[in-house]
Amino acid sequence: MEEEDDIVKEGLMASQREIFSISGPIHLTSIDWNNSYHRTSVASCLVQAVYTLERDRQQNRIGLKSQANHWWEFFNFTLAETLIDQSDGSIYGAVFAYKIFSYNYYHNIPHSKPPPRHVIAFRGTIMKRHSRSRDLKLDLRCVRDCLQDSTRFVHAIEVIQTAVAKNGNTAVWLAGHSLGAAVALLAGKIMTKSGFPLECYLFNPPFSSIPIEKLVKSEKLKHGVRFAGSVVKAGVAMAVKGRHHLNKGQEDDSFMKLATWIPYLYVNPSDPICSEYIGYFKHRNKMFEIGAGKIERIATRNSLRSLLSGGGGGSSCSDSSSEPLHLLPSAYMTINTSKSPDFKRAHGIHQWWDPVFNGEYVLHQFNQ
């Protein structure tokens, strides 16, 4: 969801958070692509560029009044394509191309991580009348785990596949915030299963389950609730597989195709939309520590909702989209450990390029 300054009224005036010279990381005058903070800042700013592109469109800010271009030009990118939602005409994403002479320059430096040729970025929900209705419908699809059936996602994956076909998967990054992170994550999983893993930056991705991490304060109670959930899921999974004669080898192969793919997850403990990722991975580690690894290996591959619905996820969602987004074997997770005064700050994109950012960095890698 986009952050907005309350003092800015509707009209041509841009929010301070849309103005790069005020809110952007202007201190990053030289990008070290080996530096994770630099890469994070670039990826999050390109997502902010998509937010601002849509706000420029909504407020008819053109020419010198437009604000979006500063968010990509500062980092030597050009706007290659804007992605339009055919349902409401809103800009939901963009393809940014790194200037070719700079790209070649980095390739000639030993031990230097090259910049991406293309970054495909997706915004989250904008609560303005021009885009609110469509975005909220897609938010609901995230909750129901059927985002893949939406025309927005179908268009997004086509754009991604085209970029990968032209440039190769190692030259393409995905980035998204909130709803946009869900689009990027789902696309990343599909591309990885197809043999084309992509570098993926997911800011405040929605977790389609009860946010135990946020709602329950007691660590002991959290573990108890999650332990019970894992036991139930494992039991139901074994019963369902036996009843429907499911091929376990094929299921495990599908899940394990994702194990070596390690997307970058950015979460804030004060954000109920994404905070459960913290508990999700913490619980999985805890289960192995206490000797319940066999239970967790089964539980982590399944969701109770999809199991009870026969794997279809509901009548309006296709089978391929019924797998919950949060069923993720591996991730490199960044946790913002700074205090967030309110939900807007905790869920906002701007926190991820903050020059005084305090964070915890944890690699979670699933081993069969």
3-state percent breakdown (helix, strand, coil) of the chain, nearest 5: 45, 15, 40
Residue 134 pLDDT: 95
For the chain, give me the number of helices (H) and strands (E)?
14, 8
94 alpha carbon, distance to own chain's centre? 15
243 alpha carbon, distance to own chain's centre? 35
Work out whether the CA dihedral 327, 82, 152, 353 comes out positive or negative: positive
Q: Find, among 270, 268, 280, the residue nearest to 215 by Cα.
A: 270
Rounded to 10°, the helix 179-193/151-167 angle is 50
- SS3 state at 255: helix
Q: Find, among 287, 289, 291, the residue nearest to 224 by Cα.
A: 287
How does DSSP assign 228-245, residue by residue? HHHHHHHHHHHHHHHHHT
Residue 246 pLDDT: 46
Q: What are phi and psi of 333, to 5 degrees?
A: -105, 130
Residue 155 pLDDT: 98
Cα gap 247→228, rounded to integer Å: 26
In the structure encoding, which two tokens stand for residue 76, read together?
């030597």
Work out whether the CA dihedral 47, 83, 68, 95 comes out positive or negative: positive
Work out whether the CA dihedral 255, 257, 258, 262 comes out positive or negative: positive
Rg (CA), the chain: 20
11 alpha carbon, distance to own chain's centre? 30
Cα gap 188→173, rounded to integer Å: 10
Residue 112 pLDDT: 79
Cα gap 152→134, rounded to integer Å: 10
The CA–CA distances, whole Å, from 250 to 222, 254, 256 equal 32, 6, 10
Scored b (16 or more CB within 10 A) or e, 260-297 reads ebbbbbbbbbbbbbbbbbbbbbbbbebbeeeebeebbb
CA dihedral 163, 198, 186, 354 (to 10 degrees): -110
How does DSSP assign 98-124, residue by residue? E-HHHHHHHHTSTTPPPPPSEEEEE--
Identify the structural domains of the chain with CATH numbers, from first to last: 16-211+323-364 (3.40.50)
Per residue of the chain (368 residues), give pLDDT as tens.
Answer: 654 443 344 445 788 999 999 999 999 999 999 999 999 999 999 999 999 999 999 999 999 899 999 999 999 999 999 999 999 999 999 999 999 766 677 667 777 789 999 999 999 999 998 899 999 999 999 888 889 999 999 999 999 999 999 999 999 999 999 999 999 999 999 999 999 999 999 999 999 776 666 566 666 666 566 655 555 555 565 666 654 444 444 455 677 788 899 999 999 999 999 999 998 898 787 766 666 556 556 556 655 555 555 544 333 454 444 577 888 899 999 999 999 999 999 999 999 999 999 999 999 988 76
The CA–CA distances, whole Å, from 349 to 49, 281, 290, 309 equal 11, 22, 37, 35
Could you tell me whether strands 77-84 and 91-98 are parallel, antiparallel, or unpaired per DSSP bridges?
antiparallel
Q: What are phi and psi of 266, to 5 degrees?
A: -120, 115
